[in-house]
Amino acid sequence: MESKGVIVADVQADFTTWKHGALAVPGTDRAFIDQVRRATAAYKRQGHAVFAVQDWHPPDHVSFFTNHPGRKPFELIAIGNRSQVLWPPHCIQGTAGAALLLAEPLFEAVVQKGTDRRFDSYSGFKDDGGAATELDGLLQRRGLRELIIYGLATDYCVKATALDAAAAGYRVAVVASLCRGITPATTAAALETMRAAGIGIAAPMP
């Protein structure tokens, strides 16, 4: 079997109810994370190359409402010609909340994103300022053209990463049962947008 690239998006303490995270995504209890862990281990056993994406912000990051006096969490503001959702501070570099909940030996590499205080980055491939991470190079070097993507959050990181991958010419499948979204409406819209971009939703479970 041709081996694929598996991208596990942002499975980090701050995004889970299990760890009482700062930006907990509904449905991310311990049982869900165990399911993600088992599926990821199975993909690896089958010979696929597994990569983690990790949200990794400095404390003064532009996406934190606390860095915008008078603003509240989940407000949408304009910054130049971009719109920015203001989040509770989360996934701050080096904190327990930023920790990956899957063991590092599962991964060929951990790709960090959102490290530039000036730009948010839902995509594992590039930030809102256009700066690329090393993800595309890592996949290309291994000749991986087919990707399986899942994790958190369906409506942000998973969606942006899958759309960028499809636009870059990868064949992409998103495993919806291994994803959770921040809100039901944006999650349904994200699945529809990904489908319309030719992304397969749900792949054979390992």
Catalytic residues: 10, 113, 157
The nearer residue to ligand VGL, 17 or 143, going by C-beta atoms, is 17
The interface partner of residue 153, options being Zn ion, ligand VGL, none and the CB cut-off 5 to 8 Å by kind, is: ligand VGL
Taking CB within 5 to 8 Å according to partner kind, which of ligand VGL, Zn ion, none is near residue 157? ligand VGL
Please tell me whether residue 155 binds Zn ion under the rule CB under 5 A: no
Report the partner that residue 13 touches, choosing among Zn ion, ligand VGL, none (CB closer than 5 to 8 A by kind): none
Q: Name the site residues for ligand VGL (rule: CB under 6 A).
A: 10, 55, 87, 122, 152-153, 156-157
If the CB atoms of residues 5 and 181 are measured against ligand VGL, the closer one turns out to be 181
Q: Which is nearer to Zn ion, 55 or 128 (CB)?
A: 55
| Among Zn ion, ligand VGL, none, residue 119 binds (CB under 5-8 Å by kind) | none
Tell me the closest approach of the beta carbon of residue 66 to Zn ion, in angstroms: 13
CA gap 118, 105 in Å, rounded: 31
Residues 2-61 that bind Zn ion (CB under 5 A): 55
Least distance in angstroms from the C-beta of 139 to ligand VGL: 19
Is 55 or 127 the residue whose CB approaches Zn ion more closely? 55
Residue 123 to residues 59, 93, 132, 156, 159: CA-CA distances in angstroms? 20, 18, 10, 8, 8
Residues that bind Zn ion (CB under 5 A): 55
